[in-house]
Amino acid sequence: MKMTITEKILAAHCGQKEVRTGDLINARVDIALGNDITAPIAIKEFEKSGAKKVFDKEKIVLVPDHFTPNKDILSAEHAKILREFAHQQDITHYFELGRMGVEHALLPEEGIVVPGDLIIGADSHTCTYGALGAFSTGVGSTDLAAAMITGEVWFKVPASMLFVYSGKLKKWVGGKDLILYTIGKIGVDGASYKSMEFSGETIDSLDIDGRFTMANMAIEAGAKNGIFHVDQATESYLKGRAKRPYTIFKSDPGAQYMEKYEFNCSQIEPQVAFPHLPENSRPVTEAADITIDQAVIGSCTNGRYSDLLEAATILKGRKVNKNVRLIIIPATQKIYKQAMNDGLLDIFLDAEAIVSTPTCGPCLGGHMGVLAKGERAIATTNRNFVGRMGHPKSEIYLSNPSVAAASAVLGRIAHPIEVVGE
């Protein structure tokens, strides 16, 4: 039987030669991830079960990143639950403040996730790691608890959808624009419980950070996972970084896909997703008259070094509009330090932006940039649901980092060429 990359990974992890769409399987887990919102629930279920030890202290990862630094007493209590459990269980991969980063940027950076892995996380954007040729997906806290005890989780094998991208991207267009454009075409439920497999010449030339962004937002199309094939760019990223050996899987020629989409990317403009769904994606020029109160550059979607560099290119020698608050959040401590060493933080501070320690913060309306009633933000985050960043009568527009930076300068949503020229 011909199989897709997702089917091959699932088959390998449930001890079968092959699996088919719709099969119910029990699969072993390579990494089980929790954060300061979801893991405390899992830990309570773990303890209620009577379990004494996690199945493998090397395969549990705990990252307090959503409400950290702690914003109030409740968030401090949640972080404490993680800390105490990590110490009690001698968890290898527990990341305290000062070493912590936004989880979906941190795990690849630290080499904890590798190709061929089966990764679950009690966070919907766990699908990020598909950029490295791994099967990764979000689960509920009770599923995380079960995995911490048994090292296994059950799945229904998803059908696969193939997305083929061709053509050379225009300047200021990247992975964020490709995934917003795609979601705009298929809708937020267009890949419901499906595997989104990304391929084509455009993908072959897309850097790893762009692939992380696309895989990260597969869930915004309803997908079970998003996944890319391993190539030289992947291998280069993993060199000197991967913590363990890995297996590379590739889809078989003739593998079955329930749907196939082909996109010519050469004419795609920077995209902006209008409120209140990621599927409301339009070219940035259609948002040119929309003023903003806040811009956020960061998150597990677009808080990597290349994202900050893109923003710095726009902001260098310029000031943030007097009516706008620009919040920049490096996704990890290493990214923060690299940005500092390379002078990016000077550019941001000279532009009168705010630079934060790594945190999810404003992405989920947690802190570090919550919106008031009637306020409007442009953000490089992944969701613009009603109330996602604060008041239910605020608005969020999603974009890539260059559009967010240009918008912060002009005080309205703008194409980068309006600021820096062609």
The confidence score (pLDDT) of residue 289 equals 85
Q: Which of 211, 236, 263 is the last residue of a domain?
A: 263
- Asked if residue 133 and residue 12 are part of one domain, the reply reads yes
Mean pLDDT computed over 401-417 = 97
Confidence (pLDDT) at 209: 97
In one-letter notation, the amino acid at residue 214 is M
Question: Is 307 within 8 Å of 336 (Cβ atoms)?
Answer: no
pLDDT band per the 50, 70, 90 thresholds, residue 24: very high
Q: Which range in 113-122, 282-291, 356-365 is most confidently predicted, on average pLDDT?
A: 113-122
Q: Is the Cα torsion angle 204, 118, 104, 280 positive or negative in sign?
A: positive
Indicate if 187 and 302 belong to the same structural domain. no
Cβ burial 60-88 (10 Å sphere, 16+ → b, else e): bbbbbbbbbbbbeeebeebbebbbebbee
Model pLDDT, residue 68: 87
Same domain, 300 and 176: no
Domain co-membership, 258 together with 321: no
Residue 421, pLDDT > 90, answer no
- What domain count does the chain have? 2
Both 256 and 294 in one domain: the answer is no
- Choose one of 211, 240, 263: the last residue of a domain: 263
Angstrom distances, CA of residue 419 to CA of 159, 165, 208, 282, 408: 44, 29, 27, 20, 10
Q: List, for residues 87-97, the tens digit of each pLDDT value.
A: 999 999 999 99
Could you tell me what percent of the chain has a pLDDT over 70? 100
Considering the domain architecture, whether residues 160 and 289 belong to the same structural domain is answered as: no
Q: Are residues 251 and 276 in the same domain?
A: no
Whether residue 340 is predicted with pLDDT greater than 80 in this model: the reply is yes
- Tell me: do 212 and 289 sit in the same domain: no
* Full domain range(s) for residue 343: 272-420
CB crowding 129-159: b at 16 or more within 10 Å, else e: bbbbbbbbbbbebebbbbbbbebbbebebbb
Q: What pLDDT was estimated at residue 1?
A: 83
Q: Using 50, 70 and 90 to split pLDDT, how confident is the model at 422?
A: confident
Strand order in the sheet with 159-166: 225-228, 194-199, 159-166, 259-264
Encode pLDDT of 172-215 as tens digits: 999 999 999 999 999 999 999 999 999 999 999 999 999 999 99
pLDDT in tens, 223-278: 999 999 999 999 999 999 998 999 999 999 999 999 999 999 999 999 999 999 99
Can you tell me whether residue 393 is helix, strand or coil? Answer: coil
Query: Do 242 and 330 share a domain, yes or no?
Result: no
CATH of residue 17's domain is 3.30.499.10
Contacts of 225 (CB under 8 A, 6+ apart): 6, 127, 130, 135, 136, 137, 158, 195, 196, 215, 218
Q: What is the pLDDT of residue 78?
A: 94
- Adjacent-strand bridge partners of 228: 198
| Residue that is last in its domain, among 263, 296, 327 | 263
Residue 81 confidence (pLDDT) above 90: yes
Whether 317 has a pLDDT exceeding 80, the answer reads yes
For residue 122, what is the DSSP state?
A: S
Residues 372 and 339 in one domain: yes
**pLDDT of 168 above 80:** yes
Residue-level pLDDT at 59: 97
Residue 138: predicted pLDDT: 97
Confidence of residue 314 (pLDDT cuts 50, 70, 90): very high
Residues 104 and 238 in one domain: yes
